[in-house]
A and B are shown apart, each in its own frame.
Chain A
Amino acid sequence: MAYEIIESCVNCWACEPLCPSDAIFEARPHFKIDAKKCTECEGDHVDPQCVSICPIEGAILNPFSEPANPPGSLTGIPPERMEEVMAEIQSR
C-alpha cells in the first residue's frame, strides 16, 4: 500500500526531503511516489510526512485513492464557499 501524488501537485519540493524511504522523486509534470518504496512512514513517523507538509488539498491520495488532505482541510476555506466564489468570478 502506498500514497500517490496526482496532477494538482505544484512541484514545491516540500515533501521530497522528508520521505524516510526516499520514495518521492522529481518528475514531470509533477513529483511522484515510488509505490514499491513507500511505507506510509510506518515505523518512522506517526503521520505520513508528505501528507503532513503538502500545502495542496487533494494532491496526495491515500492507499484507498481518497484525498489525504480533503478540500477545506488545509486552507480552511469551506468547499461550498470556494465553489460559490469561483462561479461568481467566471460569470463576470
Chain B
Amino acid sequence: MMELKVIGQSADNTAESGCSASGCGGSSDQLSHLPDHIRDKVHNHPCYSEEAHHHFARMHVAVAPACNIQCHYCNRKYDCANESRPGVVSELLTPDQAVKKVMAVAANIPQMTVLGIAGPGDPLANPERTFDTFRQLTEKAPDIKLCVSTNGLSLPDQVDELCKHNIDHVTITINCVDPDVGAKIYPWIFWNNRRIKGRKGAKILIEQQQKGLKMLTDRGILVKVNSVMIPGVNDQHLEEVSKVVKEKGAFLHNVMPLIAEAEHGTFYGVMGQRGPTHDELQTLQDKCAGDMNMMRHCRQCRADAVGMLGEDRGDEFTMEKVEVMDVDYEQAMKKRADYQAEIEAKLEAQKSSANETFIPLTALTKQKKETRPVLMAVATSGGGVINQHFGHAKEFLIYEASMTDVRFIGHRKVDLYCSGGDTCGDAETTLQKTIRLLEGCETVLCSKIGYEPWEVLEESGIQPNGEHAMEPIEDAVAKVYAEMAESGQLEQQRQADQLQAGA
C-alpha cells in the first residue's frame, strides 16, 4: 500500500468556500430547466447542483486501480502527494477499508450526501471491488447516494449490475464521437483480450460509450457526461458531442479544461499540448449551453477527495486514523438526516425571500447606451457575500455582468493542481499566478487588499475593489457594472492590448 500523505487544504480557508446560494441559484442555475423528478434527485448532490455544493459534501474512495484504456491526459504512474488532479490518489483501499472509511467520514461530516467511486482507474474495469463497496454501503448507510464514473468501455456489460444497487447517477467521460478525433486522445484500449491501438480502438470505445449511455437513460438512471476540452484536438468537436449525448438522454454536460504539465508525465504534458484559456473554455461552454444543461462549477477533484467541493479533508481520514475511530452508525445517520433537513429548510426560506427582493438589473443601471459585458472576480469565504481578503482567497468566483443580468460563470482556483512549492521548480510568485488566473477579468471584488498587490493588479489591467465588503455578491457586481457603465468605460470593445495584459 502506498503510504503517501494527502496534502489537503486546511479546512479553515475552504470549508465555506464556493459560490453563494444567491450566486448559484439565480439566473445561472443550470438545473432550473430540468424536470421535477430529476431535480429531486440532484438537488442535494454537491457535484450536480451549484447550490448544493455549498451545503453538502461528497467523498470518493479509491478502490478501483485497474484501467482498460489509456488516455493521453493520464499517467498511470502518478501518485504525487501535492497533486489534486482527477485520477491521483495516495492510498488504495480494499472494499472493506473503503466502507469503514465512508462510515467514519459520514459520522464526522453530517453534510455528507454522496459517495463516489472514480478511480484511480476505471471503476467498471474493477467490477468486483466497485460493486462489493456499493453492496455494503447500500446496507449500512442507505441514506447516502452512490455514484460511479467510467470511461464507458465496459459499461454495457455492467448496466444490469449497476441497476441492482442504489445508484442513480453515472458519469461517463466522453471526449469525442468521431474515431478520428478519438485516435488523437486514446492510444489504446484493452478489448476482447487484446490491446487495440489507434482509430480502431477509439471506434470501439465510442460505440460502447454511446450504447451504455442509451441503456442507462432507458432505465431511468441519470447520466452526466464529462468531456475534457483539448485545444486543437476536440475543441471544435465538443459542440457535436454535446448534441449527441443530449439526444441520448444525458441530463448534464460538464466540459472541463485539459490539465497538462510536462512534470505530470502524460502524453499531452510531455508533448507540449496546451490546455484551454479561461476564455476559450467559457466560450465553448456557452456554445454547448444552447444544446444542453451545462455544468460550470466542477472542481476536478482527486479520486480520493473528502469533504465539501473545493476542499479535501482526506488527511483527517487516513486508514490509520479510521481504524481507531469509534462510530455509532444509527446515531450518525440520524445526525445527517437532522442536519440535512435543517439545510433544506434554510434554502427553501432563502429562495422565497430572494423572490420577493428581486430587482431587475436594468432598473439599477439606468443605461441608455449599449454596453459590453464584463467579467469580475469575487473573493468570498461563503454566505453569498464579499467577505474575503484578496490575499487569503484560495479561489475566485467569476461573474459576468451585462446589460441584462449578472451570471455566475465558474470558479478559478489558486494553485489548483500543484502545491509542490520549490521542488517543482516553479519560480512564479503566488501574486503573478493569481494575476494569470484572473485573465479576462476587469475587476476583482474583495473585502480588503494590500497596497502592493493593488498596484500590481492595476498595472495588469485588473481594477481591485474593496468598497463592497460584506455586500451580497450579485448586488455588488451589478453596482460596479453600473458605475463602469456610468463612467463610459463600457461603450466600446476592450482594447486588445488591455486584454493581453492579463494573459
Q: Which residues of A contact B (CB under 8 A)?
A: 8, 10-14, 18, 45-47, 49, 52-53, 55-56, 74-77, 81-82, 85, 88-89, 92
| Secondary structure call for the B interface | loop
- Cα distance A49–B263 when bound, in Å? 30
Instruction: Please state if B270 and A56 are interface contacts (CB–CB under 8 Å).
Output: no
B194 contacts A85, C-beta separation under 8 Å: no
Quick check: B121 and A14 within 8 Å, CB to CB? yes
Cα distance, A56 to B75, chains bound together (Å): 9
Give chain A residues whose Cβ lies under 8 Å from the Cβ of B208.
none
Residues of B at the A interface (CB closer than 8 Å) are 65-68, 70, 72, 75-77, 79, 92, 121, 125-126, 187-188, 190, 193-195, 262-263, 266-267, 270-271, 425-427
A13 engages B126 (CB within 8 Å): yes
Partner of A76, one of B66, B76, B187, B263: B187
Residues of chain A within 8 A (CB-CB) of B262 are 85, 88-89
Given the known inter-chain contacts A55-B76, A81-B270, please indicate yes or no for A74 contacting B68, CB distance below 8 A.
Answer: no
CB distance from B373 to the nearest CB of A (A): 39
Q: Which of B72, B195, B263, B266 contacts A52 (CB 8 A)?
A: B195
Judging by beta carbons under 8 Å apart, are A75 and B70 in contact?
A: yes
**Residues in B whose Cβ lies below 8 Å from that of A47:** 193-195
B127 → chain A closest CB, angstroms: 10
The 8 closest A-B pairs by CB, nearest first: A92-B425, A14-B66, A55-B76, A52-B195, A12-B65, A53-B190, A13-B66, A76-B187
Cβ contact within 8 Å between B190 and A81: no
The answer to whether A82 and B270 have CB atoms under 8 Å apart is: yes
Complex interface: chain A residues within 8 A of B188 (CB): 74
B303 CB, nearest partner CB in chain A, Å:
13
Residues of A within 8 A of B79 (CB): 10
Report which residue of B66, B67, B194 has the largest number of chain A beta carbons within 10 angstroms of its beta carbon: B66
Chain B's closest residue to A18 (CB) is B193
Is the Cβ of B92 less than 8 Å from the Cβ of A11? yes
In the bound complex, CA of A82 to CA of B426 (Å): 19
Name the contact of A46 in the complex, choosing from B66, B125, B194, B271 (C-beta under 8 A). Answer: B194
Query: CB-CB < 8 A to A13: which residues of B?
Result: 65-66, 121, 126
**Closest B residue by C-beta to A55:** B76
Query: B70–A74 contact, CB under 8 A?
Result: yes
CA distance A53 to B263 in the complex (A): 24
Q: Shortest beta-carbon distance, A38 to chain B, in Å?
A: 16
Further contacts, 8 of them, CB under 8 A, given A75-B70, A75-B75: A10-B79, A11-B65, A13-B121, A14-B66, A14-B68, A47-B193, A52-B194, A89-B263
Residues of B within 8 Å of A11, CB to CB, are 65, 92
Cβ contacts under 8 Å, B193 to chain A = 18, 45-47, 49, 52
Jot down 24 A-B pairs with beta carbons below 8 A, ordered by A.
Answer: A8-B77, A12-B67, A12-B76, A12-B121, A13-B66, A13-B121, A13-B126, A14-B67, A14-B68, A14-B190, A47-B193, A47-B195, A52-B193, A53-B68, A55-B67, A56-B76, A74-B70, A75-B70, A75-B72, A77-B267, A81-B270, A85-B270, A92-B425, A92-B426
